[in-house]
Structure 1
Amino acid sequence: MAVTFPDLNEPLTMLSSAVTTSRHFARALTAFGLLSLGGCITTVVTPEAETSAGQAMSQQVSEQIGLYDDPELTAYVRSVGERLTAGLVDSPYKFQFAVVDQFEPNAFASPGGFIYISRGLLSQMNSEDELACVLAHEISHVTQRHHVRQMGRSLGTGLLTLPGRAVGVVSDDLGNMINSPIEHAGKVYLSGYSRDQETEADEYGLRLAAKTGYDPEALAGALEGIERTLFLLTGEHHEANYMDTHPTTPQRVADIETTIAKLTYTTTAPIATRTQLYQHLDGIWWGPQNPQQGIFLEDRFLSTDMDFTIAFPSGWETINTPRFVGATETEKEGAYMALGANPGEFTPDGYAAALITRMRERGGIEPDQTRPLKIGEWPAHLVTYTDASGEEPVSMHYVFLATPRGSYTMMALGLDQFRPQMREAVMSMRPLTSAERASVTGIRLRTATIGPGETLESWTERLDSRWGPKFSASMNGLEEDHTGTGEVLKYAREERYQGQ
């Protein structure tokens, strides 16, 4: 969690945005992301309509996955993308390139020219040619307007499962921002591509890469390297990954080779050599958790930058997005909790008053209690509601609090039987201890020279790398029996996060 909720002139809008699980988020993504695209469907979908749809998804990507915080790396990716798009003829799209804060190897495009590549996929790149071929493939999905052919598909939706009139008031506002922390963002679009569309994107992408001075043969090598790395990571990565939507099948490799055989091209000097590319990648957070966004240690969330920790109920499914951090009870899907930062300047009492007014106006609902309190040394205000209009009573608890680092809102919504667990979690929020601050670590990609004649096994042992020799070979595009010649390679180590 690193950014704020929307403007809290109407705080219920923000709070309601956070009450769902990962699965509910994914369903809502289709409901509010793709249905908004469906609204653009007319007899002819114009490039302007595509761009408008892409801008909406761009906002979702920023808010639910998050953009990776590395301006120099982003500028480099943008420069490669701009070199590619300079080779397009009369394109109506203004392309934009960004790095998303996602560990899974992934790249995707939204309508109108928004191209994304994950930090996980970037860490696997071993030449600018590989990066250019991946970006050119995504650019080609846009120029060939593959999204337009998917935009009219209707997809089902389901939101909150809890009963009651007050819950209905809350769920009315869910469309403002509920989405999955878009591990699924690229997959939602890419999984709809046909085999012919993927082949077409390969063909046009390879032509574009070659036209702009890149080696198109790098595409097959990049895909095979990604596939090999994902195989080595089996059991350690999420379901959404690049190879789910871009499989390296024998037919695909054959098609790539056939296309390349027809091309006449001359490669030119890259913007960055292999060594310079590695310099751009040096320092990228590589693991599943990026400590810039805070981390979970089992059920406890810790944020160095915001200097707080909170323990969610044991066994609940946790979630961490740029907009909020939360948890859901999974056995009955009977309770949800979410904590997010407030961008406004209200006091906790002010936020509470605004919430009470909104609930009264929207649903004629009055709180069970409203009172100021302290969470540790932090001033806070608690507002609770009980909705007994459904089959089972539902408790809703809102806590607004101010800390030296910012203003936050905690929402807990659930069946009455989960009230004690929700209360305990809310009251567990407090500043980090020095020991907890030191425990916030992450895995970081670094670079180092492998000595002449040195094996990957001895090199990884010398550096205490988190990657063994087999995985190091895959991440560096080498054979496992590689011996050094004095070149620079990538490795990974655990580092304490010092904060921003």
Structure 2
Amino acid sequence: MRKTSLQLLFLFAVVSAIISGCNKDEPLVILPLEQDVQLGAQVHEEILNMQDSLPILSEQQYPQVYQYLRNIMSNIVASEDILYEEEFGYDKIYIIKNDNELNAFATPGGYVYVYTGLLKYLDSEDHLAGVLGHEIAHADRRHTVRAIQRDLGVQLLLDVALGQNQGAVVQVVRALGDLQYSRSNEEEADTYSVRYLSNPQSPYECDGAAGFFEKLQNEGSGGGTPEFLSTHPNPGNRIEAIQAEAATQGCDTAPCTTCSYEQFKIMLP
């Protein structure tokens, strides 16, 4: 019954997409929201099986590090602008041990992964909160599943949902590393990062994401493009757009006075 229902949903969505004339950059999301949760869980299980290439830092060995990150996530998703806190939870954050990559990414269903390279590169908790807010927005606004659907095709997503293709999840994991978001999705994720950090529970400067991009801009890429910019193309006026959104929101742009980011970085391996 479940198989038939999903197949009918697939056919209905394809027909709807044709009728609505939705464009390639912003395709209609085919699968229902609960499939984001299922797909995220399947992708995470596959990542756990890829410890040679994507080594996850053990929470048992570094409980304080993980608690620190979960506290940041909790402050961010206290925002009323979060759509799917109940469905996604947003307590699923994992650290990939790789000091050479300045990167972070989110999967459908609200799983967030951040590289030790990025954590050590950032200067403040405000900047980290801004980056995490950006990644949460990609999951919460369903940008990630939309980009996967665009790049890998709706049939592969249907295969994952139906459990018909054992290699489909592997393809999704590999695609996440090179996933290209549309310009409008990038702008929306930056906008919502500001809005998330402007909520009353947040102690962060609401334009924290701009601080990360300012550092990249001031220091240059060191001879190569940071991975984060490879998968999150810079539209050129990103810093200005984030700061403009902060001005529009009228939110606090003063740095967090109670954060202890340097102590957090000392705890990282």
Q: TM-score, normalised by structure 2?
A: 0.70
Q: Which amino acid aligns with 1:82?
A: S
Give the one of 247, 251, 255 matched to 1:265.
251
Aligned residue number for residue 66 of structure 1: 55
The answer to which structure has the higher helix fraction is 2
Residue 255 of structure 1: CA displacement?
Answer: 1.8
After superposition, what is the alpha-carbon deviation per residue over 1:422-465, rounded to whole angstroms, capped at 9, x for unaligned? xxxxxxxxxxxxxxxxxxxxxxxxxxxxxxxxxxxxxxxxxxxx
- Please give the secondary structure, in 1, of the residue aligned with 2:212: helix
Show structure 1 runs of 5+ residues with no match: 1-37, 157-172, 286-500
Letter of the 1:281 counterpart: K
In 1, the alpha carbon distance for the partners of 2:241 and 2:255 equals 27
Q: Which amino acid aligns with 1:99?
A: I
SS in 1 for 2:150: coil
Shift of 1:271: 8.8
1:203 to 170, 174, 191: 191
Aligned AA (1:122): L
Residue aligning to 2:88:
93
Alignment check: 8 A CA contact 1:213 1:265 kept:
no
Q: How does 1:418-429 map to 2 (within 5 A)?
A: none
1:107 and 1:186 in contact (8 A); partners too: no
Pick from 33, 37, 47 the counterpart of residue 47 of structure 1.
33
Partner of 1:324: none
- Cα 1:176–1:262 change in 2 (3 A) is closer
Contact 2:134-2:189 within 8 A present in 1 as well: yes
Bigger relative contact order (CA 8 A; separation at least 6):
2
Report deviation, 1:253. Answer: 2.3
Structure with the larger strand share = 1
> Displacement of 1:262 after TM fit?
0.2
Partner of 2:159: none
Q: Is the 8 A contact 2:126 2:255 kept in 1?
A: no
CA distance in 2, matches of 1:155, 1:246: 18
Q: 2:204 — aligned with what?
A: 214
How many residues matched? 222
Q: Are 1:80 and 1:271, in contact at CA under 8 Å, matched by a contact in 2?
A: no
SS at match of 1:113: coil
The offset of 1:66, in angstroms, is: 2.1
Relative distance call for 1:230 and 1:48 in structure 2 (3 A) is: farther
Q: 1:254 to 1:176 in 2, by over 3 A?
A: closer
Counterpart for residue 130 of structure 1: 127
- Shift in Å at residue 229 of structure 1? 5.1
Q: Which runs of 5+ in 2 are unaligned?
A: 1-5, 14-29, 154-164
CA shift in 2, pair 1:270/1:62, >3 Å: farther
Aligned residues: CA RMSD: 3.3
Match of 1:277 among 249, 261, 264: 261
Checking the alignment, whether the CA contact within 8 Å between 1:227 and 1:243 is kept in structure 2 is no
**Percent identical across equivalent pairs?**
27
Letter in 2 for 1:94: G
Distance 2:120 2:48 in 1: 20
Q: Does the 8 Å contact 2:110/2:136 carry over to 1?
A: yes
The one-letter amino acid of 1:223's match is F
Tell whether 2:99 aligns with 1:113: no
The 5-angstrom pairing of residues 411-422 of structure 1 reads none
1:98 is matched by which residue type in structure 2? Y
1:75 corresponds, among 58, 67, 82, to 67
User: For each residue in 1:83-113, what CA deviation from the matched residue of structure 2 results, as whole angstroms up to 9, or x when unmatched?
Assistant: 1112245523211212112230101110011
- Matched-pair contact (CA < 8 Å) for 2:137–2:193: yes
Q: CA deviation at 1:115?
A: 1.1
1:142 aligns with 2:139: yes
- Displacement, 1:246? 2.7
Q: Which residue is 1:348 aligned to? A: none
Instruction: Show CA shifts across 1:284-339 (max 9, x none).
Output: 34xxxxxxxxxxxxxxxxxxxxxxxxxxxxxxxxxxxxxxxxxxxxxxxxxxxxxx
Q: 1:152 to 1:209 in 2, by over 3 A?
A: same
C-alpha contact 1:128 1:272 (8 A) present in aligned 2: no
Alpha-carbon shift at residue 63 of structure 1 (Å): 2.6
Q: Secondary structure at the match of 1:66?
A: coil
2-structure distance, mates of 1:114, 1:108: 8
Q: CA deviation at 1:185?
A: 5.6
Question: Matched residue of 2:43: which SS?
Answer: helix
